[in-house]
Structure 1
Amino acid sequence: MTSRESDSGSEPVRCRSDLGRRVSLRREQLGLTREEVAARAAASSGFLQYVEESAAEPGIGFMLRLASALDTTVAELVGGTTELPAGFGKAAAHPEFLVLSAAECRERLSTHGVGRVAVTVDDTPAVFPVNYTVAGELIAYRTAPEAGPAAAAGHEVALEVDHIDDAFSQGWSVLVVGRARVVTDSYESRRLEEQAHTAPWAGDGRHEWIAIHPTQITGRRIRVMGARAPSRETS
C-alpha cells in the first residue's frame, strides 16, 4: 500500500487495496483529476474516491467504464497482468520514434528506480535487475559481494532503465555505459545510504555499493501522437 496526498492537499490517505492503488497510480500517470475520471466513467467523484482509498469491490459494469476512462484494461487494474512481461499491447497506428538528449535521459533516470545491469559472470553474459540510486554524476546500487551484480566492479558495464505504457503502446529506454567500482570509502558509502530512497527489493545482506561512472548516456522514446502525456514519467 502506498500513501499519497489527497486531492484537497490536506490529510494523506492510503490506498487500502491493490485495485485502489492501481486506479490512483494510473489516474496520476495520465494527469487526470478524480473528477475528470469520474465523469468519464459515469460515476460520482465520491465513489471513485471510495474505490481508490477503500477495499472496494465494484461491479463489472463500472470496472469496464473505469478501464475505458483510464485508457487501460480491467485486467491491468485488477493486477491480472502483473506476472506477465510488459509489452502485450498492440503497436499503435502512427508511432513516433525519438532520440532523447542527455538531459532528457537524466530526467527519466530521476533520483532512483529499478534498472538492469549487464555483466559477465564466469565468461558468460548476464543481466540482473537492481535498485539504483542517482548520486550526482554517479549511478549506484547495492548488492552482496558474492551476487551476480557485484561482478560489474572493475569493468565497463551497461545499465538500462525503461518505462513501458501498454495502454498507449509507448515508452522509453535509457542506457548508461561506464566503468563500475566497489565503493570502499566509508564516507561515500554513508552518503549513498542517506540518499537511497529504498532498500534493495531482494532483501537483506546487500550492503556493498557498486558505483558506475557514466561515460555515455543515450536514450530512445516511442511516442504515440494523440495519446495523453502523463504528468511525469518515472521508472
Structure 2
Amino acid sequence: MTDRTPSKSAEPAPVGDLGRRLTERRTRLGLTLREAAGRAGMAPSYLQYLEEHPGAAPGTGVLHILAEVLHTTVTDLTGGDAELPPGRGQAARHPQFTELTTQECRALLSTHGVGRLAVPTASGPVIVPVNYSVVDGAIVFRTGPGTTPAQAAGCQVAFETDRIDDAFSQGWSVLVRGHARAVTDPDEARRLDARAYSTPWAGGRREQWVRIDPVAVTGRRIAV
C-alpha cells in the first residue's frame, strides 16, 4: 500500500479521536510507527498522517487492516463504543482465570485512576465512582461535605477498580475492603494534597479527604 492523501469518501467519518486511539494502541503494543506501518503494508508517512490529523477519514478497508495489525477492533479504533459499557464481547476461546497475589493487586492499585466505592447509606448500599490515589498503602480520594462518597467516613466499605479489554476479552479487577475515615488533621490533609495524583473530575470545591485503610485486598485476572 503506497503513501496517499485522504480521499473524499461516501462512507461516514469515524466516530471519535482516531489518531489518538491509533497512537495509544500502537504504543501499548510496543510498536514504532514504522513497524506498525510495515505490518499494515502502508507508508509510515500515511500512518503518521492518520495519527496526527483529526480530520483523517480512511476507508473501511484501511481501518480493518489497522485493527488486525493492532489486535483490536474497528469499533474500538473509531470510538464507536465510547458510550457503551465494556464487556459486550464474546469470551475468548481458551481463557485463563487466575487469582492475583496481594503484591500484584497493590501494584495494579498504585497506578491510580477511577475506582468504584460501595457506600452504606440509610436507603441501602450505593456504588459511586471516585478519582483515587494510593498514599502509604491507603486508598485516598477527595470529595465534598454531604456527598455520597463523604458518607463512607466511619464505615466499613468496599472499593473496586479494574481494566477491561474488549478487543481481547480479558482484564483484571481488584477489590479492597477496609475502614474509611475522614482526614481531619490539617498536616495529613496538606500531605495528601501534595502527593495525590489528580483532582476530582467532577470539579467544584471538594476539599474533604477520605482515607480507606485496607483490611483485605483481593484480585483476579482473565487472560487469553
The residue correspondences of 1:156-171 to structure 2 (distance < 5 A) are 156-171=156-171
Q: Are 2:87 and 2:164, in contact at CA under 8 Å, matched by a contact in 1?
A: yes
State the Cα distance separating 1:43 from its structure 2 match: 1.2
1:102 is the counterpart of 2:102? yes
1:147-226 matches, within 5 Å, as 147-224=147-224
Q: Who is 2:22 aligned against?
A: 23
Q: Which runs of 4+ in 1 moved over 6 A?
A: none
Contact 2:92 2:168 in 1 (8 A): yes
Residue 57 of structure 1, CA deviation: 2.2
Cα distance in 1 between the residues matched to 2:200 and 2:191:
16
For residues 106-145 of structure 1, the aligned pairs below 5 Å read: 106-145=106-145
The 3-state SS of whatever aligns with 1:90 is coil
CA deviation after TM superposition for structure 1 residue 87, in Å: 0.3
Describe the SS at the equivalent of 2:178: strand
AA aligned to 1:145 is P
Q: TM-score, normalised by structure 1?
A: 0.84
Q: In the TM superposition, what whole-angstrom CA distance separates every residue of 1:118-142 from its partner, at most 9, and x where no partner exists?
A: 0112231110000000101111011
Aligned to 2:79: 79
Kept in 1, the 8 Å contact 2:176–2:217? The answer is yes
Q: How many residues align?
A: 208
Q: Distance in 1 between matches of 2:59 and 2:198?
A: 36
User: CA offset at residue 32 of structure 1?
Assistant: 2.4
| 8 Å CA contact 2:143, 2:208 repeated in 1 | yes
In 2: Cα distance, 1:48 partner to 1:198 partner: 32
Q: 1:23, CA displacement in angstroms? A: 1.1
How far apart are 1:110 and its partner, in Å? 2.1
Which residue pairs with 2:11 in the alignment?
none
Share of identical aligned residues, percent? 55
User: How far has the Cα of 1:80 moved from its partner?
Assistant: 0.8
In angstroms, what is the RMSD of aligned CA positions? 1.4
Aligned letter for 1:172? W
Specify the SS of the correspondent of 1:23. helix
**How far apart, CA to CA, are the structure 1 residues paired with 2:65 and 2:171?**
25
Structure 2: distance between partners of 1:132 and 1:57 = 36
Q: Supply the distance in 1 between the matched residues of 2:17 and 2:203 (Cα, whole angstroms).
A: 22
Aligned partners of 2:101 and 2:219 also within 8 Å: yes
How far is 1:59 from its partner?
2.3
Secondary structure of residue in 2 paired with 1:161: strand
Match of 1:44 in 2: 43
Q: CA deviation at 1:196?
A: 2.0
Q: Which amino acid aligns with 1:103?
A: Q
The secondary structure found in structure 2 opposite 1:202 is coil
Relative to the length of structure 2, the TM-score reads 0.88
Structure ID, larger Rg:
2
In 2, the alpha carbon distance for the partners of 1:88 and 1:39 equals 31
Once residues 110 and 47 of structure 1 are traced to their aligned partners in structure 2, the CA distance between those partners, rounded to angstroms, is 37
